[in-house]
Amino acid sequence: MAAAAAGSGGANGSAHQVGAPTNPMATALLTDQYQFSMAYAYWKAGKHADRAVSTYYLLEFNTSNCRFDLYFRKNPFGGEFTVFAGLEECIKFVANFKFTEDDISFLQSVMPMCEDAFFDYLRKTDCSDVEVYSIPEGSVVFPKVPLMRVEGPVAVVQLLETPFVNLINYASLVTTNAARHRHVAGKSKVLLEFGLRRAQGPDGAISASKYCFMGGFDATSNVLAGNLFGIPLRGTHSHAYVSSYMSLDEIPDKSLKSKDGSRVCKDFVSLVTEWLQKIQLADSSCGVFGETNQSELAAFASYALAFPTNFLALVDTYDVMRSGIPNFCAVALALHDLGYKASGIRLDSGDLAYLSIEARKVFRTIEKEFNVPAFGKMIITASNDLNEETIDALNKQGHEVDAFGIGTYLVTCYSQAALGCVFKLVEINSRPRIKLSEDVAKCHDGFQVSIPCKKRCFRLYGKEGYPLVDIMMRESEPSPKAGERILCRHPFLESKRAYVVPQHVEELLLCYWPGTSNKPRVELPSLEEIRGRCMQQLEKLRPDHIRRLNPTPYKVSVSAKLYEFIHSLWLNEAPVGELQ
Amino acid sequence: MAAAAAGSGGANGSAHQVGAPTNPMATALLTDQYQFSMAYAYWKAGKHADRAVSTYYLLEFNTSNCRFDLYFRKNPFGGEFTVFAGLEECIKFVANFKFTEDDISFLQSVMPMCEDAFFDYLRKTDCSDVEVYSIPEGSVVFPKVPLMRVEGPVAVVQLLETPFVNLINYASLVTTNAARHRHVAGKSKVLLEFGLRRAQGPDGAISASKYCFMGGFDATSNVLAGNLFGIPLRGTHSHAYVSSYMSLDEIPDKSLKSKDGSRVCKDFVSLVTEWLQKIQLADSSCGVFGETNQSELAAFASYALAFPTNFLALVDTYDVMRSGIPNFCAVALALHDLGYKASGIRLDSGDLAYLSIEARKVFRTIEKEFNVPAFGKMIITASNDLNEETIDALNKQGHEVDAFGIGTYLVTCYSQAALGCVFKLVEINSRPRIKLSEDVAKCHDGFQVSIPCKKRCFRLYGKEGYPLVDIMMRESEPSPKAGERILCRHPFLESKRAYVVPQHVEELLLCYWPGTSNKPRVELPSLEEIRGRCMQQLEKLRPDHIRRLNPTPYKVSVSAKLYEFIHSLWLNEAPVGELQ
DSSP state letter for B261: S
Mutate to test the interface with A, among B169, B238, B311, B408 (most CBs of A within 10 A): B238
What is the domain-level CATH number for residue A325?
3.20.20
In a domain, A214, yes or no: no
Q: How far apart are CA B36 and CA A97, in angstroms?
A: 37
Q: Are residues B380 and B436 both part of a single domain?
A: no
Q: How far apart are CA A343 and CA A380, in angstroms?
A: 9
Q: Are residues A386 and A532 both part of a single domain?
A: no
Tell which of B349, B371, B401 closes a domain: B401
Q: What does pTM read for this prediction?
A: 0.90
Cα angle vertex B553, ends B550, B559, to 5°?
Answer: 170
In a domain, B37, yes or no: yes
Q: Are residues A509 and A569 both part of a single domain?
A: yes
Segment B525-532 shows an average pLDDT of 97
Q: Which chain A positions have a beta carbon within 8 Å of B438's beta carbon?
A: 316, 318-320, 349-350
Q: Are residues B51 and B167 both part of a single domain?
A: yes
CA distance to partner chain A, nearest, from residue B537 (Å): 20
Tell which of B377, B401, B425 closes a domain: B401
What is the domain-level CATH number for residue B509?
3.20.140.10
Coil, helix or strand at residue B545: helix
| Distant-in-sequence, close-in-space partners of B269: CB < 8 Å, separation ≥ 6 | B248, B251, B254, B301
Q: Which chain A positions have a beta carbon within 8 Å of B576's beta carbon?
A: 290-293, 318-319, 322-323
> Which range is least confidently modeled, A296-310, B55-69, B214-228?
B55-69
Sign of dihedral through CA atoms B510, B516, B517, B522?
Answer: positive
ipTM, 2 decimals? 0.87
A240 and B576: CB-CB below 8 Å?
A: no
Q: Which chain A positions have a beta carbon within 8 Å of B202's beta carbon?
A: 24-25, 30, 163, 166-167, 203
- Per-residue pLDDT at A568: 86
Domain with A326, as residue range(s), is 236-401
Q: How far apart are CA B95 and CA A508, in angstroms?
A: 48
A14 and B526: CB-CB below 8 Å?
A: yes
Where does residue B411 fall: left (phi above 0), alpha (psi -120 to 50 degrees), or beta otherwise?
Answer: alpha
Decide the pairing of beta strands B190-193 and B379-382.
unpaired
- Per-residue pLDDT at B120: 92
Confidence at B246, pLDDT banded by 50, 70, 90: confident
Q: Are residues B335 and B259 both part of a single domain?
A: yes
Return the number of other C-beta atoms located less than 10 Å from residue B383's C-beta: 22
pLDDT of B47 above 80: no
In a domain, A450, yes or no: yes
Q: Are residues B454 and B557 both part of a single domain?
A: yes
CA distance to partner chain A, nearest, from residue B327 (Å): 13
Segment B44-65 shows an average pLDDT of 44
Q: Are residues B464 and B384 both part of a single domain?
A: no
Nearest to A16 among B194, B208, B229 (CB): B229
Q: Which chain A positions have a beta carbon within 8 Å of B200's beta carbon?
A: 170, 174, 199-201, 204, 207-208, 412-413, 417
Using an 8 Å Cβ cutoff, are A451 and A144 in contact?
yes
- Per-residue pLDDT at B280: 86
Q: Are residues B484 and B557 both part of a single domain?
A: yes
Q: How far apart are CA A250 and CA A233, in angstroms?
A: 29
Using an 8 Å Cβ cutoff, are B60 and B441 in contact?
no
Question: Read out DSSP for A73-84?
Answer: SS-STT-S-EE-
**Closest residue of chain B to A159, computed from CA coordinates:** B223
Confidence at B436, pLDDT banded by 50, 70, 90: low
pLDDT of B439 above 70: no
Straight-line distance from the first to the last Cα atom of chain A, in angstroms, rounded to the nearest whole number: 32
Using an 8 Å Cβ cutoff, are A143 and A556 in contact?
yes
B425 and A530: CB-CB below 8 Å?
A: no
Coil, helix or strand at residue B427: strand
In Å, how far are A35, A301, A367 from A344, measured between CA atoms? 54, 14, 14
Q: Are residues A385 and A425 both part of a single domain?
A: no
Using an 8 Å Cβ cutoff, are A32 and B204 in contact?
no
- Per-residue pLDDT at A25: 57
In a domain, B29, yes or no: yes
Residue segments in chain A with a per-residue pLDDT below the cut of 50 = 1-22, 50-64, 438-441, 443-444, 575-580
**Closest residue of chain A to B527, computed from CA coordinates:** A13
Q: How far apart are CA A200 and CA B418, in angstroms?
A: 8
| Sheet of B431-432, strands arranged across | B431-432, B422-428, B66-71, B148-152, B131-134, B510-513
Cα B412 from chain centroid (whole Å) = 10
Q: Check residues B25 and A95 and name the one with the higher pLDDT.
A: A95
Segment B39-46 shows an average pLDDT of 79
The number of folded domains in chain A is: 2
Tell me the pLDDT tens digit for each residue of B127-170: 999 999 999 999 999 999 999 999 998 889 989 999 999 999 99
Q: Are residues A272 and A396 both part of a single domain?
A: yes
Q: Check residues A449 and B500 and name the one with the higher pLDDT.
A: B500
Q: How far apart are CA B68 and CA A239, in angstroms?
A: 12
Using an 8 Å Cβ cutoff, are A61 and A135 in contact?
no
B307 and A204: CB-CB below 8 Å?
A: no
Q: Which chain B positions have a beta carbon within 8 Å of A107's beta carbon?
A: 223
Q: How far apart are CA B380 and CA B364, in angstroms?
A: 13
CA distance to partner chain B, nearest, from residue A52 (Å): 14
Mutate to test the interface with B, among A73, A165, A200, A217 (most CBs of B within 10 A): A200
Q: Are residues B566 and B436 both part of a single domain?
A: yes
Return the number of other C-beta atoms located less than 10 Å from residue B483's C-beta: 9
Using an 8 Å Cβ cutoff, are A381 and A357 in contact?
no
Of A361, A296, A331, A316, whose CA–CA distance to B579 is shortest?
Answer: A316
Tell me the pLDDT tens digit for each residue of B407-420: 999 999 998 989 98
Q: Are residues A130 and A268 both part of a single domain?
A: no
Q: How far apart are CA A38 and CA A42, in angstroms?
A: 6
In a domain, A212, yes or no: no
In a domain, A17, yes or no: no
Residues facing B329 on adjacent strands = none
- Per-residue pLDDT at A509: 97
In a domain, A465, yes or no: yes
In a domain, B90, yes or no: yes
Tell which of A372, A401, A430 closes a domain: A401
Confidence at B249, pLDDT banded by 50, 70, 90: confident
Q: How far apart are CA A164 and CA A471, in angstroms?
A: 24
Segment B420-435 shows an average pLDDT of 84
Using an 8 Å Cβ cutoff, are B474 and B455 in contact?
yes
Q: How far apart are CA B553 and CA B556, in angstroms?
A: 9
**Closest residue of chain B to A171, computed from CA coordinates:** B201
Confidence at B287, pLDDT banded by 50, 70, 90: low
